[in-house]
Amino acid sequence: MNRSRVIVVQIGLLVFSAVMAFSQEDPESVSAMLGPRGEGLIIARCAVCHSADLITQQRLSRTRWEATIEKMKHWGAEISDQEADLLIRYLSARYHPNAPANVPPLSHEIGKSEPLKQEPQAQRPVIGVAARGAGVFEHNCQACHGGGAMGGMGPRLAKNPILKLDVLFRETVLYGRGPMPAWSSVLSEQDIADVHEWLLTR
């Protein structure tokens, strides 16, 4: 190979790596940006079967995070493709192979997670639709509160006095309580009203 060809190749490589570096997401900013949503998803989508510490102690490459989430979906994790994409980006930015052993633990603090959609503050009260609520319940609540909301690992919600206390119900669902996940980063106000309405019919 002659000298000028070598130089051309070298310049090419330089340009290529500069472009790559530019387009690559900086893990720290990705993890800060996706943090609230990602943490919310872990609690809402994953903590049904195991506590979040099993997830946050891993230090995995993106491929292995992808494979892990695929396995969890296969086993019954209720997570949409879009949520899974976001969670994989978040996990591989925060819990990657070179991350320190003690990444600060997930914050379970109330109200930390961003609301799902920036809905304009409701002009009128949100009206729940029971028929939609059945689906919301099945995908998000049934694993813990049992079929027909008759109770399981979580308390029975059918005929539960809390259903009469609208504000308390909404806040318990939004922010979680004890082992009960916070749903603020996954469910909209409408979803919560729908599931509330459906529970009232049980």
Partner 1 sequence: MKGSGELAKFSRRRWLKTLLGFGAGLAMHPAKFLAWAADMTPARDESTLTVRVSRPFDAETPVRAFTSFLTPNDHFFVRSHFGPPSAETIGESQWTLHVGGAVERSNEFTMESLKQFEPVTITAVLQCSGNGRAYHRPKAPGVQWERGAVGNAQWTGVRLRDVLQAAGVRAEARHVMFQGADRPVVATVPLFVRSIPLEKALHPDTLLAYEMNGRPLPLLHGAPLRVITPGWMAESCIKWLTHIEVREDEASGYFMQTAYRVPVKSEQKDTGRTDNATAPVEVMPVKSLISSPEDGQAVMAGGVRIKGVAWAGETRIAKVEISIDEGNTWQTAQLVGDDRLYAWRQWQFLWQATVQGTFAIVCRATDERGHVQPAATSWNPSGFLWNGWDRVTVRVHPHE
The residues of the shown chain that bind ligand HEC, judged by CB under 6 A, are 45-50, 54-55, 58, 68-69, 71-72, 75-77, 79, 87, 140-141, 143-145, 153-155, 157, 160, 162, 169, 172-173, 177-181, 183, 187, 195
Q: Write out the DSSP string of 175-200.
A: H-BTTBPP-TTT--HHHHHHHHHHHH
Selection from ligand HEC, partner 1, none that 10 binds (CB < 5 to 8 A by kind) is none
Q: Residue 129 Cβ, how far from partner 1 at the closest point, in Å? A: 26
Selection from partner 1, ligand HEC, none that 173 binds (CB < 5 to 8 A by kind) is ligand HEC
54 alpha-carbon distance from chain centroid:
15
Q: Which listed range, 1-9, 14-22, 34-42, 54-62, lies at the site for partner 1 (CB under 8 A)?
A: 54-62
160 alpha-carbon distance from chain centroid:
27
Tokens of 66: 């992808």
One residue of 19, 155, 159, 168 binding partner 1 per CB under 8 A: 155
One residue of 8, 15, 18, 49 binding partner 1 per CB under 8 A: 49
Q: Residue 142 Cβ, how far from partner 1 at the closest point, in Å? A: 9
**Cβ closer to partner 1: 104 or 178?**
178
Selection from partner 1, ligand HEC, none that 40 binds (CB < 5 to 8 A by kind) is none
Per CB under 8 A, contacts with partner 1 among 114-153 are 143-144, 152-153
Q: Which residues bind partner 1 (CB under 8 A)?
A: 47-51, 53-54, 57-61, 63-64, 66-68, 75-76, 97, 143-144, 152-155, 178-179
